[in-house]
């Protein structure tokens, strides 16, 4: 089988080839490493490529298959790890320069689980500094394979690039305010932000512990389910990890969604949003209804206040996470992460109490709906899609100039602009996230007329990650 016929196959397809003996893990890994050598110099998705170790792992997987040992759907499948996952076999910088040479003494729980399940680790994937919004000025920014002039998404930028470009079959991302969902949307992937605690965060470099989630980024929903089934579950090393049983996500692929209640707030899905995105959402809604889902009109509470508080909420926990190096090594930080930490150090306990109360108020009205739909438009800025000004904003690879904090996340959601008191722009998804709204799925909804992906999304009730497999 030629290398060119392998690199865009799904995890489930590759797994089938391996199990049937039609392809060897070593062949697949060698082909993928060759593709990385050819293309990653153009897209810059990897922080570290572990070619020698990956080939050794792959040959071990070959031998196991020859002996009749099959570890599961990830056996022999090459994957990438976001560089905030602790690895005892490679540096874990978390997108910083301060930790560029930090090699942990242990692996993150999810790393051990993936490798125990037979996955082959190709390397560590680039990310924004500290998992916030911007890449450190000294780090080469990953570029979107769909169009290098467009935003790649943050903070799991390398995960989006590598998975989309066929430089791995699936990857790990993390999400504090959109960092799985944004790059999944902009790079045409399916990403899952699981329920908080569904996946252990032991050995994961934090941005804000109470908001951080770890999840898969893949090229299909089934692939995401295969990875989630491996990394999810209780962990003695993480007291916040949920003890709820982990279902077999792949067993439900193709299962009926008849009776599934999906809420739609048309203010979110239509007002101020690019017309092509609206059309894609309407068509998806019709398809879901045809498959038996119950579409219900819902009205979310106003999200603007909670959105404006997201940065303050995140900043306090980020400041705590960086106590060992900030302010003692302040000069080594990039400007955006340093600004976030400074805000956290200045935020009062009274402010945090007010934010907590706002989270609770926003959460209550969402409890009766199992799923709700939201738009993700990685292209449109919410203004005239054909205007010169709009084009100028969209084609800034780092961030739109009006939004120094979240790279225009609001614009990428197709929503009107909302600004915190300090001028930072954040999106409505941050409100759902901050309110504790659990499992969220981003998936492709077709190409935009400008040739880059349009995404849509669903979020689910608590511990309802199993529903995501039906997507």
Q: Which residues are the active-site residues?
A: 82, 155, 179
Here the contacts of 357-364 (C-beta below 8 Å, separation 24 or greater) are 358/305, 358/306, 358/309, 359/306, 359/313, 359/434, 359/435, 359/436, 361/301, 362/301, 362/303, 362/306, 362/431, 362/434, 362/435, 363/435, 363/436, 363/437
Q: In what order do the strands lie in the sheet with 78-82?
A: 46-49, 120-125, 78-82, 170-175, 213-218, 190-193, 440-447, 453-460, 371-376, 261-264, 294-297
State how far the Cα of 189 lies from the Cα of 442, in Å rounded to an integer: 7
Q: Which residues contact 458 (CB under 8 A, 6 or more apart)?
A: 262, 371, 372, 373, 374, 440, 441, 468, 471
CB 147 within 8 A of CB 452: yes
Pairing of strands 120-125, 46-49: antiparallel
Neighbours of 138 (CB within 10 A): 11
């Amino acid at each position: 089988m030629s290398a060119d016929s392998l690199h865009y196959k799904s995890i489930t397809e590759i797994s089938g080839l391996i199990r049937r003996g039609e392809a060897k893990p070593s062949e697949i890994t060698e082909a993928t490493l060759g593709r990385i050598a050819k293309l990653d110099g153009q897209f810059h998705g990897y922080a570290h490529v572990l070619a020698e170790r990956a080939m050794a792992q792959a040959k071990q997987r070959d031998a196991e298959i020859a002996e009749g040992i099959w570890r599961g759907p990830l056996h022999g499948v090459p994957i990438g790890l976001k560089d905030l996952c602790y690895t005892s076999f490679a540096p874990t910088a978390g997108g910083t320069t301060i930790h560029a040479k930090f090699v942990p003494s242990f692996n993150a729980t999810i790393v051990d689980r993936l490798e125990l399940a037979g996955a082959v680790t190709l390397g560590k994937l680039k990310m924004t500094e500290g998992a916030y919004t911007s890449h450190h000025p000294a780090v080469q920014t990953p570029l979107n394979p769909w169009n290098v002039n467009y935003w790649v998404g943050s903070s799991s930028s390398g995960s989006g690039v590598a998975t989309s470009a066929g430089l791995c079959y699936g990857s790990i991302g993390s999400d504090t305010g959109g960092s799985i969902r944004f790059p999944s949307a902009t790079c045409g992937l399916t990403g899952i932000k699981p329920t908080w605690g569904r996946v252990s965060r032991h050995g994961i470099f934090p941005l804000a512990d109470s908001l951080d989630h770890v999840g898969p980024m893949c090229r299909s929903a089934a692939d995401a389910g295969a990875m989630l089934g491996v990394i999810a579950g209780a962990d003695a090393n993480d007291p916040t990890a949920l003890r709820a049983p982990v279902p077999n996500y792949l067993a439900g692929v193709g299962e009926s969604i008849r009776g599934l209640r999906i809420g739609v707030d048309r203010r979110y899905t239509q007002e101020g949003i690019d017309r092509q995105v609206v059309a894609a959402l309407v068509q998806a809604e019709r398809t879901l209804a045809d498959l038996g889902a119950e579409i219900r009109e819902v009205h979310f509470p106003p999200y603007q206040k909670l959105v404006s508080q997201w940065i303050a909420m995140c900043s306090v926990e980020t400041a705590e996470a960086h106590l060992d190096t900030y302010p003692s090594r302040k000069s080594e930080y990039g400007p955006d992460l340093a600004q976030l930490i400074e805000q956290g150090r200045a935020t009062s306990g009274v402010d945090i109490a007010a934010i907590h109360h706002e989270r609770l108020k926003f959460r209550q009205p969402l409890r009766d709906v199992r799923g709700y739909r939201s738009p993700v438009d990685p292209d449109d800025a919410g203004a005239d899609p054909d205007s010169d000004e709009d084009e100028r904003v969209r084609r800034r690879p780092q961030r739109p100039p009006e939004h120094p904090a979240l790279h225009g996340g609001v614009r990428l959601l197709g929503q009107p602009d909302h600004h915190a008191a300090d001028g930072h722009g954040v999106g409505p998804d941050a409100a759902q996230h901050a309110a504790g709204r659990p499992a969220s799925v981003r998936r492709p909804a077709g190409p935009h007329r400008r040739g880059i992906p349009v995404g849509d999304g669903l979020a689910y009730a608590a511990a309802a990650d199993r529903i995501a497999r039906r997507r």
